[in-house]
Amino acid sequence: YFDLLKTSETLPSGAPKDDFHFSQPTDEYLRERNSAPSTGYGARFKAISTTPPRDFRVIYTEPGSPSAEVVNGQTKLVRGSRILSVDGVDFINANSQSEIDTLNNGLFPAATGETHNFTVRDPDGTERTISLTSANMVRQPVNQTTILDTSTGKVGYIHFTTFSPFSSEEQIANAMQQVSDAGVSDLILDLRYNGGGLLAVASQLSYMVAGQARTQNRTFEQLRFNDTAGSINPVTGRPNNPIPFYSTGQGFSLQSGQSLPTLNLGRVYILSTERTCSASEAVINSLRGIDVEVVLIGDITCGKPFGFYPTDNCGRTYYTIQFQGVNDKGFGDYADGFVPQNANFQFGARTLGCQVADQLVAPLGTTGDPLTAAALQYRADGTCPAPSSAGVASQEQPYRSSEGVEPSGPAIRLEQPDVMDVNRDLSMPGEYRGRTD
């Protein structure tokens, strides 16, 4: 029956309409949903190639994690660091099972306190050997908050990686307060690796960007079911009331009713990749619904306006698409993603902005980062940078080596993404029946 609930329809681009139908053990769902600590180094990797010649690179590190530890004035891992060897085994070319086991055990330690040695090559070509000791890590939703000084005023930069844990409510409010206190005239909101989480926090973030006047009595998101549902949510049996722009704390990690800071902006620059999904896309869609100008810098988003409520049955939680989320204007047709204006892609929801490759060449939130630099350029004169010779991420072959050699041989295992990496959650404090989309 569960398999029969998945539609075989396709999108205008030809992609499957439902790419989100799955199930998992309920204990895994609850652990991931509540962001339980897990063993690791606090480094997020991009797997360009999992087979020889392998290519794994760091996209960012968690604040205060083993990988962000400073030694001799430099963090152990930096954005763009490429793994060359693990515990003396050639990471790029190793083929035997024993070597693969060593690589997997070093990359993904099973317990805290394990120490493994890595040789890495940084973006500037420097090769280093470092030791990393695994720790119990909790994902930090706000990775970085920066104030960029420009000749035309201050620009806030926030790297927000997940809406998932309850702590995301407090962390994003604190970050918004910081950029508000700095008197910024614009905001760069970095959602390039943010796949989703709590929809209520997405609503709060959108309110903090736009402010009271633009959001008052407006809809953040309305759940659209089929025609027979009428005004009732057929899953809960309750009235299908619109989700507002929440202007106060909801009790996740802020006191319920606590006022939120606002920037009162009529425009926001959002950095995106194909991993910008679900609750992140709801922020884009909701702001467009109240005529806030969203400038998308980066790549086409994942395209997930659909949603479902996780349903437990005998220790297994099932997810099947039940509704579509639409904004204040009734729009929610972005299943082929939000598309920057200058992209060649013929489908999706076109928005202002520039398609720019997410190259791992400089720290996030600096003018050396191509996406941040492109946002500042567009802000200055309304133009996009010339296309990079490296191409756009969505047009590259993600499982091919950067050396251009056909992959072969045994693969390194990949970390299993948790359910919140590509989902959003309609839960409110005290509720278990999370909606995930």
Q: Could you check whether 39-138 and 142-390+419-425 share the same CATH topology?
A: no
Residue 219 · residue 243 · CB < 8 Å: yes
- How confident is the model at residue 164, as a pLDDT? 83
Question: How far, in Å, CA of 220 to CA of 198, rounded?
Answer: 13
Q: What is the pLDDT of residue 393?
A: 39
| CA of residue 139 relative to chain centroid, distance | 12
Q: Contact 364/143 with Cβ under 8 angstroms?
A: yes
Q: pLDDT tens digits for the chain (437 residues)?
A: 888 888 899 999 999 888 888 888 988 877 766 656 788 999 999 999 988 999 999 999 999 999 999 988 899 999 999 999 999 999 999 999 999 999 999 999 999 999 999 999 999 999 999 999 999 988 899 999 999 999 999 999 999 999 988 899 999 999 999 999 999 999 999 999 999 888 999 999 999 999 999 999 999 999 999 989 999 999 889 999 999 999 999 999 999 999 999 999 999 999 999 999 999 999 999 999 999 999 999 999 999 998 888 888 999 988 888 899 999 999 999 999 999 999 999 999 999 999 999 999 999 999 999 999 999 999 999 999 987 644 443 333 222 222 333 334 566 766 655 555 556 677 778 654 444 44
Nearest to 89 by CA among 116, 109, 49, 121: 116
**β-pair partners for 86:** 89, 118
What are the DSSP E strand ranges found in 151-237? Answer: 153-160, 186-190, 197-198, 219-224
Neighbours of 67 (CB within 10 A): 23
Tokens of 259: 């006022």
Residue labelled with tokens 């133009």: 383
pLDDT value for 102: 95
CATH domain 39-138 topology: Pdz3 Domain (2.30.42)
Helix/strand/coil percent split, the chain, to 5? 20, 30, 50
Inter-residue long-range contacts of 5-11, CB under 8 Å, 24+ positions, other chains counted: 5/320, 5/321, 6/320, 6/321, 7/321, 11/303, 11/335, 11/336, 11/347
What are the domain boundaries of the chain? 39-138, 142-390+419-425
The answer to whether 398 and 387 are in contact (CB under 8 A) is no
The closest alpha carbon to 332, from 285, 291, 293, belongs to: 285
Q: What is the pTM of this model?
A: 0.91
**How does DSSP classify residue 201?**
H
Q: What is the pLDDT of residue 426?
A: 72
Architecture of the domain whose range is 142-390+419-425 = Alpha-Beta Complex (3.90)
3-state secondary structure of 312: strand
The pLDDT value recorded for residue 410 is 67
Question: Which H/E stretch holds residue 131?
Answer: strand 127-133
Which residue has 């909606």 as its token pair? 435
Q: Give the per-residue pLDDT at 406.
A: 37
Write out the DSSP string of 133-173: E-EEE---SEEEEEEEEETTEEEEEEEE--B-STHHHHHHH
Determine the pLDDT at residue 1: 84
Q: What is the pLDDT of residue 422?
A: 59
Q: Tokens representing 291?
A: 């005529």
